[in-house]
Amino acid sequence: MGDNHSQVHGHEEEEVSLKPIFISAAILVLIVVGQHFWSWWPQGWLQDVLYILAFCPVGIPVLIEAWELLWKEHSFFNECALMSIATIGAFCIDQQNEAVLLMLLYQLGEYLQDKAVHKVRRSISKTADVRSQTVLKIEGQETKEIPAKEAQVGDYLRVIPGMRVSLDGKLLSEEALLDLSALTGESMLEEREKGAEILAGSVVSTRPIDIVVTKPYEDSTLARILQMTEEASERKPETERLIRRFARVYTPIVFGLALLVVLAPWIWSLASSSFQYEFSDWLYKALVFLVISCPCALVISVPLTYFSGMGATSRHGLLFKGALYLEELRRITAVVFDKTGTLTVGEFEVKKVLTSSISSEDALGYISAVEAHSSHPMAQAILRHTTNSERKEVKDIEEVTGMGLTAIGSNGERLLVGSERMMLKEGLEVPQSLSPQGESAVLLAIDRAVKATVILSDQIKPQSKATISDLQHLGINKLVMLSGDKPEVVLATAKEIGLQDARGSLLPDDKMRAVEELMVNDRVAFVGDGLNDAPVMTMSHVGIAMGGIASDATIEAADIVIQGNDPYKVVQGIEVSRHTHKIVVQNIIFALGFKFAVMILALLGFASLTLAVLADVGVTLLAVLNSLRALYFRAKTLQE
């Protein structure tokens, strides 16, 4: 029974129609009105025919599905079989009214449940579908804007600066400067030469590029997020699997007990002449027992609760590969963070200026004047640090690909602005006092003498401190930062954020060993970005990828993808996970407790078939409505 419901409510695309329900309800109302108010109303077999007509629109689909489940899947103990037996039995003991009402209410309940499931699915899909809508297709000497999903493998596309690549392809242009921060977490722009692979999610930086599509839209990096979400119901949490196993055992037991309700009194009547056995009475009680004992409230509401929880997380900007990871997230006792792009912005800011025989103002004036012609992240950081009035006059600016820029000053002095590698390539000596010491830096040389070094550092994200603090408030006290950056840089960042455990100069293998050590005693979530974090994500209990648009490797490795780059969403994800689990427990206790109470009333003769179906459908709908609370749960935000 659990499997059947999982299939029906987890993957069904078409919603149950209300038309058969309206037709059956209309005929049933007509019969009831005729019986009570019209003296000429037909009786006997004519009325039975009307009952059958009322039953067919809502009953035949259930009978057919029960037969298909029995014939194709050899599943007798399912909800459709239970309803079929109950209605046929009701017809046999002249309870046609209740037989039709049973199917009518059952189908109405199915309709309302399907509406709830589709509402959740639409909510998730709407949030998850972050794909670009259009691309520029090259046709001859012109470009034509077309929907991205219509682009075919082999099509030539043009991508203008600031535009995100929508499909994976190969570069046709001689070179490209790309922002790959969403893919790798690195803030440095990267160059690509003709023939290089261009991943969907890359942002073109300086000049238009042409690519040839190598993968269809459905297989592109961007499309994988939506596909991941739509397949999420395949990975079921332990609680849901337990409920399904429970239903497979519980249902045949209930059928056996219902059979005993009929047979035990008959056997007793054979042994005791004073006991009067009425078959129809005990069959009626058995049918009531069958209907109310149906575990559909659990089988429907538990997966729906997890699905609703995933809908809530998607509205908070988190996409889960399965409800399994939503359940797993609440168990996390340790969270490990990468540094760059995760707790830091991945965007540079000027940290300090080192000079020799030149003032820092003059040095920044030369550097900012030259860097105004560059789109490099470090150049942009320097420009943010200075004003137009501070810049010197320069001319004849030329780019040295991948290294920096050259220019001529107002007095004819030759300027070099770029990396330490550029200075060494030019044969210039970098004084020890101006050496970047491995830090990110832009150097200035005037007339073949290195005069200044601007040291830049990554900015800490404004949400990082609150993320660490609120994770501790949630009871997660083992918080670690692992980074390949220099230990002194990592420790300084950790101190500012509020982390006690931070380790630097780590290679991917070192990160894996550190996480393995933590996993001995804790359930670990790893939060990172970029291709180099994929191995650690795979091995941790829960892998969380920063960046709503990730590389193929990151999407494959991560269990959860954060849309955007806000680490506080980890806190929100844990809150939603815990709230969802709370609702699951509420539904289990409520459904089982209520059903056992009515089952006892049925055995004592105080519950009718109509009351049983109302109770069964009512419990199911209440559980479904309670499940939907997970969809609308709003986790704490930083503004609160």
Question: Which positions are catalytic?
Answer: 338
* Alpha-carbon gap, residue 569 to 564, rounded angstroms: 9
Alpha-carbon distance 501 to 471, whole Å?
Answer: 14
For 498, half-sphere exposure in the C-beta direction (CA atoms, 13 angstrom radius) is: 13
- How far, in Å, CA of 608 to CA of 189, rounded? 73
Closest CA to 132 of 226, 202, 222, 199: 222
* Distances in whole angstroms, Cα of residue 364 to Cα of each of 245, 282, 351, 441: 69, 95, 13, 13
Comparing CA positions, the residue from 201, 254, 196, 256 lying closest to residue 223 is 201
Four-CA torsion 116, 117, 119, 123, nearest 10 degrees: 140
Q: What is the number of other CB atoms lying within 10 angstroms of the CB of residue 15?
A: 12
Count of Cβ atoms closer than 10 Å to residue 159 Cβ = 24
Tell me how far apart the alpha carbons of residues 223 and 169 are, in angstroms, rounded to a whole number.
14
HSE-up (13 A, CA, CB side) for residue 597: 10
Question: Can you state the angle between helices 569-603 and 609-631, rounded to 10 degrees?
Answer: 170
DSSP 129: -
From the list 165, 303, 135, 334, the residue with the least C-alpha distance to 234 is: 303
Residue 316 burial (CB count, 10 A): 22
**How remote is the C-alpha of 168 from its chain's centroid?**
22
Rounded CA gap, 55 and 104, in Å?
Answer: 8
- Backbone angles phi and psi of 14, in degrees to 5: -95, 130
Tokens describing residue 419: 């990396």
Alpha-carbon gap, residue 85 to 588, rounded angstroms: 26
